[in-house]
Amino acid sequence: MDLKIRKAKKSDAEGIINLIVELAIFEKLVPPDRNAQSRLVKHAFSDKPMFEILIALDDKTPIGYAFYFFTYSTFLAKQTMFLEDIFVSDRYRSGGVGKKLFDELLKIAKSKKCGRLDFTCLNWNKRAMKFYDRLGAKAMKEWVYYRMTL
Amino acid sequence: MDLKIRKAKKSDAEGIINLIVELAIFEKLVPPDRNAQSRLVKHAFSDKPMFEILIALDDKTPIGYAFYFFTYSTFLAKQTMFLEDIFVSDRYRSGGVGKKLFDELLKIAKSKKCGRLDFTCLNWNKRAMKFYDRLGAKAMKEWVYYRMTL
Protein backbone atom coordinates (compact mmCIF):
# COMPACT_ATOMS: atom_id res chain seq x y z
CA MET A 1 0.00 0.00 0.00
CA ASP A 2 1.23 3.48 -0.94
CA LEU A 3 -0.61 5.39 1.80
CA LYS A 4 -0.85 9.15 1.72
CA ILE A 5 -2.91 11.40 4.03
CA ARG A 6 -3.57 15.03 3.18
CA LYS A 7 -6.26 17.72 3.31
CA ALA A 8 -8.95 17.10 0.70
CA LYS A 9 -9.34 19.29 -2.38
CA LYS A 10 -12.43 19.92 -4.47
CA SER A 11 -11.21 17.39 -7.04
CA ASP A 12 -11.50 14.69 -4.31
CA ALA A 13 -15.26 15.32 -3.96
CA GLU A 14 -16.51 12.32 -5.97
CA GLY A 15 -14.26 9.85 -4.18
CA ILE A 16 -15.31 11.22 -0.81
CA ILE A 17 -19.04 11.00 -1.64
CA ASN A 18 -18.61 7.35 -2.62
CA LEU A 19 -16.94 6.64 0.73
CA ILE A 20 -19.72 8.50 2.63
CA VAL A 21 -22.33 6.29 1.02
CA GLU A 22 -20.26 3.24 2.01
CA LEU A 23 -20.11 4.53 5.61
CA ALA A 24 -23.87 5.18 5.75
CA ILE A 25 -24.58 1.61 4.62
CA PHE A 26 -22.12 0.28 7.20
CA GLU A 27 -23.71 2.37 9.99
CA LYS A 28 -27.23 1.36 8.86
CA LEU A 29 -28.07 5.05 8.41
CA VAL A 30 -29.66 6.83 5.44
CA PRO A 31 -26.91 8.17 3.14
CA PRO A 32 -27.12 11.78 1.89
CA ASP A 33 -29.29 12.12 -1.23
CA ARG A 34 -28.18 13.97 -4.42
CA ASN A 35 -29.16 17.39 -3.05
CA ALA A 36 -27.39 16.77 0.24
CA GLN A 37 -24.31 15.52 -1.64
CA SER A 38 -24.00 18.72 -3.65
CA ARG A 39 -24.63 20.89 -0.55
CA LEU A 40 -21.93 18.92 1.25
CA VAL A 41 -19.37 19.58 -1.49
CA LYS A 42 -20.33 23.27 -1.51
CA HIS A 43 -20.03 23.53 2.29
CA ALA A 44 -16.66 21.74 2.32
CA PHE A 45 -14.92 23.69 -0.43
CA SER A 46 -16.31 27.22 -0.13
CA ASP A 47 -14.33 30.28 1.00
CA LYS A 48 -15.61 29.71 4.53
CA PRO A 49 -15.72 25.90 4.77
CA MET A 50 -18.13 24.56 7.40
CA PHE A 51 -15.84 21.59 8.13
CA GLU A 52 -12.48 20.22 7.07
CA ILE A 53 -11.60 16.90 5.48
CA LEU A 54 -8.55 14.67 5.62
CA ILE A 55 -8.40 12.09 2.87
CA ALA A 56 -6.43 8.83 2.87
CA LEU A 57 -5.26 7.57 -0.51
CA ASP A 58 -3.65 4.34 -1.64
CA ASP A 59 -1.64 5.65 -4.57
CA LYS A 60 -4.49 7.67 -6.14
CA THR A 61 -7.46 5.66 -4.83
CA PRO A 62 -9.45 7.29 -1.97
CA ILE A 63 -9.71 4.69 0.79
CA GLY A 64 -10.70 6.69 3.87
CA TYR A 65 -11.45 10.09 5.29
CA ALA A 66 -11.97 12.13 8.44
CA PHE A 67 -14.43 15.04 8.69
CA TYR A 68 -13.77 17.44 11.54
CA PHE A 69 -14.45 20.95 12.78
CA PHE A 70 -13.67 23.00 15.84
CA THR A 71 -16.06 23.36 18.77
CA TYR A 72 -15.35 24.96 22.15
CA SER A 73 -15.06 23.95 25.78
CA THR A 74 -16.23 26.77 28.04
CA PHE A 75 -14.65 25.09 31.08
CA LEU A 76 -11.20 24.75 29.47
CA ALA A 77 -11.69 27.99 27.49
CA LYS A 78 -10.03 26.20 24.59
CA GLN A 79 -11.15 24.92 21.23
CA THR A 80 -12.05 21.25 20.89
CA MET A 81 -11.45 19.30 17.72
CA PHE A 82 -14.67 17.44 16.96
CA LEU A 83 -14.28 14.43 14.71
CA GLU A 84 -17.64 14.10 12.97
CA ASP A 85 -16.83 11.06 10.81
CA ILE A 86 -13.85 8.79 10.37
CA PHE A 87 -14.04 5.97 7.90
CA VAL A 88 -11.77 3.48 6.20
CA SER A 89 -13.09 1.43 3.30
CA ASP A 90 -13.84 -2.18 4.21
CA ARG A 91 -11.02 -3.93 2.36
CA TYR A 92 -8.41 -1.52 3.77
CA ARG A 93 -9.27 -2.08 7.45
CA SER A 94 -6.67 -3.26 9.97
CA GLY A 95 -3.94 -1.79 7.77
CA GLY A 96 -3.14 1.12 10.06
CA VAL A 97 -5.01 3.71 7.96
CA GLY A 98 -7.33 4.74 10.83
CA LYS A 99 -4.36 5.13 13.16
CA LYS A 100 -2.54 7.33 10.61
CA LEU A 101 -5.67 9.49 10.17
CA PHE A 102 -5.84 9.90 13.95
CA ASP A 103 -2.13 10.80 14.15
CA GLU A 104 -2.70 13.55 11.59
CA LEU A 105 -5.86 14.79 13.39
CA LEU A 106 -3.96 14.99 16.69
CA LYS A 107 -1.18 16.93 15.01
CA ILE A 108 -3.69 19.49 13.68
CA ALA A 109 -5.56 19.66 17.02
CA LYS A 110 -2.34 20.32 18.91
CA SER A 111 -1.23 22.99 16.43
CA LYS A 112 -4.57 24.75 17.14
CA LYS A 113 -3.97 24.43 20.92
CA CYS A 114 -7.13 22.35 21.34
CA GLY A 115 -7.74 20.87 24.79
CA ARG A 116 -9.69 17.87 23.52
CA LEU A 117 -10.50 15.67 20.57
CA ASP A 118 -14.14 14.53 20.89
CA PHE A 119 -16.26 12.16 18.79
CA THR A 120 -19.14 9.72 19.07
CA CYS A 121 -19.41 6.02 18.25
CA LEU A 122 -22.38 3.70 17.75
CA ASN A 123 -22.61 1.37 20.75
CA TRP A 124 -22.74 -1.80 18.60
CA ASN A 125 -19.52 -0.93 16.76
CA LYS A 126 -17.30 -2.93 19.11
CA ARG A 127 -14.39 -3.02 16.67
CA ALA A 128 -14.28 0.79 16.50
CA MET A 129 -14.61 1.05 20.29
CA LYS A 130 -11.63 -1.28 20.79
CA PHE A 131 -9.65 0.87 18.36
CA TYR A 132 -10.58 4.08 20.26
CA ASP A 133 -9.71 2.43 23.58
CA ARG A 134 -6.28 1.50 22.24
CA LEU A 135 -5.75 5.12 21.18
CA GLY A 136 -6.41 6.21 24.78
CA ALA A 137 -9.84 7.77 24.16
CA LYS A 138 -12.28 7.65 27.07
CA ALA A 139 -15.97 6.77 26.78
CA MET A 140 -17.80 9.55 28.68
CA LYS A 141 -20.50 7.28 30.06
CA GLU A 142 -21.86 9.90 32.47
CA TRP A 143 -22.93 12.12 29.56
CA VAL A 144 -26.13 11.49 27.59
CA TYR A 145 -26.24 12.86 24.03
CA TYR A 146 -29.50 14.67 23.21
CA ARG A 147 -30.95 15.75 19.88
CA MET A 148 -33.84 17.90 18.74
CA THR A 149 -34.67 17.43 15.04
CA LEU A 150 -35.74 20.75 13.50
CA MET B 1 -39.87 38.88 37.17
CA ASP B 2 -38.94 41.23 34.32
CA LEU B 3 -37.34 38.61 32.03
CA LYS B 4 -35.34 39.61 29.01
CA ILE B 5 -33.29 37.36 26.72
CA ARG B 6 -30.76 38.77 24.27
CA LYS B 7 -27.31 38.16 22.78
CA ALA B 8 -24.58 38.89 25.32
CA LYS B 9 -22.28 41.90 25.03
CA LYS B 10 -18.78 42.36 26.40
CA SER B 11 -20.20 44.37 29.32
CA ASP B 12 -22.07 41.19 30.41
CA ALA B 13 -18.78 39.31 30.88
CA GLU B 14 -18.54 39.56 34.68
CA GLY B 15 -22.14 38.41 35.24
CA ILE B 16 -21.63 35.49 32.87
CA ILE B 17 -18.40 34.38 34.59
CA ASN B 18 -20.19 34.36 37.97
CA LEU B 19 -22.92 32.14 36.52
CA ILE B 20 -20.34 29.77 34.94
CA VAL B 21 -18.72 29.28 38.34
CA GLU B 22 -22.20 28.56 39.80
CA LEU B 23 -22.81 26.00 37.02
CA ALA B 24 -19.45 24.28 37.59
CA ILE B 25 -20.20 23.89 41.29
CA PHE B 26 -23.67 22.52 40.46
CA GLU B 27 -22.20 20.04 37.93
CA LYS B 28 -19.44 19.05 40.39
CA LEU B 29 -16.85 20.06 37.79
CA VAL B 30 -13.78 22.27 38.13
CA PRO B 31 -14.71 25.87 37.23
CA PRO B 32 -12.46 27.83 34.84
CA ASP B 33 -9.54 29.49 36.63
CA ARG B 34 -8.60 33.20 36.20
CA ASN B 35 -6.60 32.57 33.02
CA ALA B 36 -9.36 30.48 31.49
CA GLN B 37 -11.92 33.13 32.44
CA SER B 38 -10.04 35.85 30.61
CA ARG B 39 -9.45 33.59 27.57
CA LEU B 40 -13.18 32.80 27.55
CA VAL B 41 -14.13 36.48 27.46
CA LYS B 42 -11.58 37.10 24.68
CA HIS B 43 -12.88 34.13 22.64
CA ALA B 44 -16.52 35.20 23.07
CA PHE B 45 -16.18 38.85 22.18
CA SER B 46 -13.45 38.95 19.53
CA ASP B 47 -14.00 39.80 15.85
CA LYS B 48 -14.29 36.09 15.11
CA PRO B 49 -16.07 34.77 18.21
CA MET B 50 -15.52 31.05 18.86
CA PHE B 51 -19.04 30.69 20.30
CA GLU B 52 -22.15 32.78 20.90
CA ILE B 53 -23.95 33.59 24.13
CA LEU B 54 -27.57 34.28 24.99
CA ILE B 55 -28.06 35.94 28.35
CA ALA B 56 -31.23 35.93 30.46
CA LEU B 57 -31.76 38.96 32.70
CA ASP B 58 -34.28 39.75 35.42
CA ASP B 59 -34.41 43.52 35.04
CA LYS B 60 -30.60 44.05 34.96
CA THR B 61 -29.53 40.97 36.95
CA PRO B 62 -27.97 38.12 34.89
CA ILE B 63 -29.85 34.95 35.89
CA GLY B 64 -29.03 32.49 33.11
CA TYR B 65 -27.22 31.91 29.86
CA ALA B 66 -26.81 29.60 26.88
CA PHE B 67 -23.48 29.06 25.09
CA TYR B 68 -23.77 27.66 21.59
CA PHE B 69 -21.92 27.30 18.30
CA PHE B 70 -22.55 25.67 14.95
CA THR B 71 -21.30 22.21 14.05
CA TYR B 72 -22.16 20.19 10.95
CA SER B 73 -24.00 17.01 10.05
CA THR B 74 -22.41 15.36 7.02
CA PHE B 75 -25.45 13.09 6.55
CA LEU B 76 -27.95 15.97 6.50
CA ALA B 77 -25.41 18.31 4.85
CA LYS B 78 -26.72 21.01 7.14
CA GLN B 79 -25.38 22.93 10.10
CA THR B 80 -26.26 21.74 13.61
CA MET B 81 -26.72 24.14 16.50
CA PHE B 82 -24.70 22.71 19.39
CA LEU B 83 -25.75 23.91 22.81
CA GLU B 84 -22.58 23.69 24.90
CA ASP B 85 -24.03 25.03 28.17
CA ILE B 86 -27.44 26.15 29.35
CA PHE B 87 -27.84 27.33 32.91
CA VAL B 88 -30.39 29.13 35.06
CA SER B 89 -29.37 30.35 38.52
CA ASP B 90 -30.73 28.21 41.34
CA ARG B 91 -33.34 30.58 42.77
CA TYR B 92 -34.80 31.32 39.31
CA ARG B 93 -35.47 27.69 38.36
CA SER B 94 -38.94 26.47 37.39
CA GLY B 95 -39.81 30.02 36.34
CA GLY B 96 -39.83 29.33 32.61
CA VAL B 97 -36.39 30.90 31.99
CA GLY B 98 -34.88 27.70 30.53
CA LYS B 99 -37.87 27.27 28.23
CA LYS B 100 -37.55 30.86 27.00
CA LEU B 101 -33.81 30.38 26.36
CA PHE B 102 -34.63 27.26 24.32
CA ASP B 103 -37.33 29.10 22.35
CA GLU B 104 -34.77 31.73 21.39
CA LEU B 105 -32.13 29.09 20.51
CA LEU B 106 -34.61 27.29 18.26
CA LYS B 107 -35.48 30.56 16.54
CA ILE B 108 -31.78 31.21 15.79
CA ALA B 109 -31.19 27.58 14.69
CA LYS B 110 -34.12 27.70 12.28
CA SER B 111 -33.01 31.06 10.85
CA LYS B 112 -29.64 29.40 10.09
CA LYS B 113 -31.44 26.41 8.45
CA CYS B 114 -29.94 24.00 10.99
CA GLY B 115 -31.21 20.43 10.80
CA ARG B 116 -30.61 19.70 14.49
CA LEU B 117 -30.07 21.15 17.93
CA ASP B 118 -27.72 18.84 19.86
CA PHE B 119 -26.45 18.92 23.43
CA THR B 120 -25.29 16.65 26.24
CA CYS B 121 -26.57 16.17 29.79
CA LEU B 122 -25.05 14.53 32.87
CA ASN B 123 -26.89 11.27 33.53
CA TRP B 124 -27.62 12.09 37.21
CA ASN B 125 -29.30 15.39 36.33
CA LYS B 126 -32.81 13.94 36.26
CA ARG B 127 -34.50 17.31 36.53
CA ALA B 128 -32.76 18.58 33.38
CA MET B 129 -33.52 15.33 31.55
CA LYS B 130 -37.23 15.65 32.34
CA PHE B 131 -37.11 19.22 31.04
CA TYR B 132 -35.41 18.11 27.80
CA ASP B 133 -37.91 15.28 27.37
CA ARG B 134 -40.80 17.75 27.69
CA LEU B 135 -39.19 19.92 25.00
CA GLY B 136 -39.22 16.91 22.65
CA ALA B 137 -35.48 16.24 22.70
CA LYS B 138 -34.41 12.64 22.21
CA ALA B 139 -31.68 10.87 24.23
CA MET B 140 -29.45 9.21 21.60
CA LYS B 141 -28.69 6.14 23.70
CA GLU B 142 -27.08 4.22 20.83
CA TRP B 143 -24.26 6.78 20.62
CA VAL B 144 -21.30 6.75 23.02
CA TYR B 145 -19.47 10.04 23.53
CA TYR B 146 -15.66 9.70 23.39
CA ARG B 147 -12.95 12.09 24.46
CA MET B 148 -9.18 12.31 24.08
CA THR B 149 -7.58 14.84 26.41
CA LEU B 150 -4.66 16.57 24.68
pLDDT digits (tens, 9 = 90+) for A13-30: 999 999 999 988 888 888
Q: Does A92 touch chain B (CB under 8 A)?
A: no
**pLDDT at residue A30, rounded to an integer:** 86
- Reference A78, options B63, B87, B37; nearest CA is B37
The full set of domain ranges for chain A reads 3-135
Instruction: Give B13's pLDDT tier (boundaries 50, 70, 90).
Output: very high
Q: Which of A140, A147, A150 sits opposite B145 (nearest CB)?
A: A140
CB contact under 8 A, A71 and B82: yes
The H or E element spanning position B50 is none
**Amino acid letter for position A110:** K
Burial class (CB in 10 A: 0-12, 13-18, 19+), B140: middle
CB contact under 8 A, B150 and A84: no
- Reference B40, options B84, B79, B73; nearest CA is B84
**pLDDT at residue B30, rounded to an integer:** 86
Q: What is the DSSP-derived secondary structure letter of residue A45?
A: S
Burial class (CB in 10 A: 0-12, 13-18, 19+), B53: buried
**pLDDT at residue A119, rounded to an integer:** 97
Query: Which residue, among A106, A149, A150, would best test binding to B if mutated, counting the most B CBs under 10 Å from its CB?
Result: A150
Mean pLDDT for A67-90 is 95
**pLDDT at residue B31, rounded to an integer:** 86
Q: Is there a contact between A41 and A67 (Cβ–Cβ < 8 Å)?
A: no
CB contact under 8 A, A123 and B142: yes
Q: What is the pTM of this model?
A: 0.92
Q: Does A10 touch chain B (CB under 8 A)?
A: no
Q: Which of A50, A114, A146 sits opposite B121 (nearest CB)?
A: A146
**pLDDT at residue A104, rounded to an integer:** 98
pLDDT above 90 for A120: yes
**pLDDT at residue B142, rounded to an integer:** 93
**pLDDT at residue B75, rounded to an integer:** 83
How many interface pairs between A and B have CB atoms less than 8 angstroms apart? Answer: 182
ipTM of the modeled complex: 0.93
Give tens-digit pLDDT for B91-142: 898 889 999 999 999 999 999 999 999 999 999 999 999 999 999 999 999 9
**pLDDT at residue A28, rounded to an integer:** 86
Q: Does A107 touch chain B (CB under 8 A)?
A: no
Q: Does A150 touch chain B (CB under 8 A)?
A: yes
CATH architecture of the domain with range A3-135: 3-Layer(aba) Sandwich (3.40)
Handedness of CA B26, B29, B32, B34 (dihedral sign): positive
- Reference A19, options B146, B74, B142, B116; nearest CA is B74
For the sheet containing A3-7, what is the strand order? A3-7, A52-58, A61-73, A78-88, A116-122, B143-149, A138-139
**pLDDT at residue B27, rounded to an integer:** 83
Round the average pLDDT of chain B to a whole number and report it.
94
Instruction: Give A1's pLDDT tier (boundaries 50, 70, 90).
Output: confident
Contacts of B92 (CB under 8 A, 6+ apart): B1, B58, B63, B64
Helices (H), chain B: 13-26, 34-44, 97-111, 126-135
β-partners of residue A26 are: none
**pLDDT at residue A26, rounded to an integer:** 85
